[in-house]
Amino acid sequence: MSLSADGIDKLVIDCGSGFLYVTGEDSLRSIEVEAEIIVKGKREKDIEDYVKKNVKLELKKQGSKAVLVSMFKNQFPRINFRTRVINLTVKVPKNIDVEVDDGSGEVRIEQIDGNLQIDDGSGEITIRDIQGDVDIDDGSGTVDVRDVTGNVTVDDGSGTIKVNDIGENVKVSDGSGSIYIDGVGGDVIIKDDGSGSVNIQNVKGKVVK
């Protein structure tokens, strides 16, 4: 799918199970989406009809936003959820904001000049090279954030949090799991409610725990 980015300053992604990869490109003037739909336990001749009836996959403009929806219409199928996923590869102009509401699966987002907001159920999150602020609310899974010019906020239920090379302030709230922070231009605020080690170094501002 493809949508002109003219007049769009934010991409909102609402997706279910499957991996999500988003990358920004300087010369791009549109939003480009490639979707891979995997359904196990279905005969090949039945797949096309199954997808038409059960998959919601759309990219449209709403005011100054682009909205990408990717999910199975029936969220509680008889078959196990692991037997069907929609994997997304998304290319966007670098200067727009990105907001993600993700169900489960790996998330990787990189090379975005705008702000980034993620609300994730479960799965590994990897963030690289973001010029704006990063805000992550994660249920479970490893969170790895590196090379962010703005502020970073991570609220994680369980799993390891790694934060490196951040220009401004860092706020981390962790239920359980280890926290590693290295290279922060501003302050670091840690709220560690659970268990696990906390390792902090190379912070130019103050550290509050």
User: What are the extents of the domains in the chain?
Assistant: 1-97, 115-209
pLDDT at 79: 46
Task: Check: CB of residue 143 under 8 Å from CB of residue 160.
Answer: yes
Q: What is the pLDDT of residue 159?
A: 85
Say yes or no to pLDDT of 122 above 90: no
Beta pairing class for 55-62 and 65-72: antiparallel
CA distance 189 to 175: 15
pLDDT at residue 81 above 80? no
Mean pLDDT across the chain? 92
Poorest-pLDDT segment among 11-20, 116-125, 193-202: 193-202
pTM, whole model, 2 decimals? 0.92
Token duo for residue 17: 């199970």
Q: By the 8 A CB rule, do 185 and 205 touch? A: yes
Pick from 65, 5, 62, 63: nearest CA to 32: 5
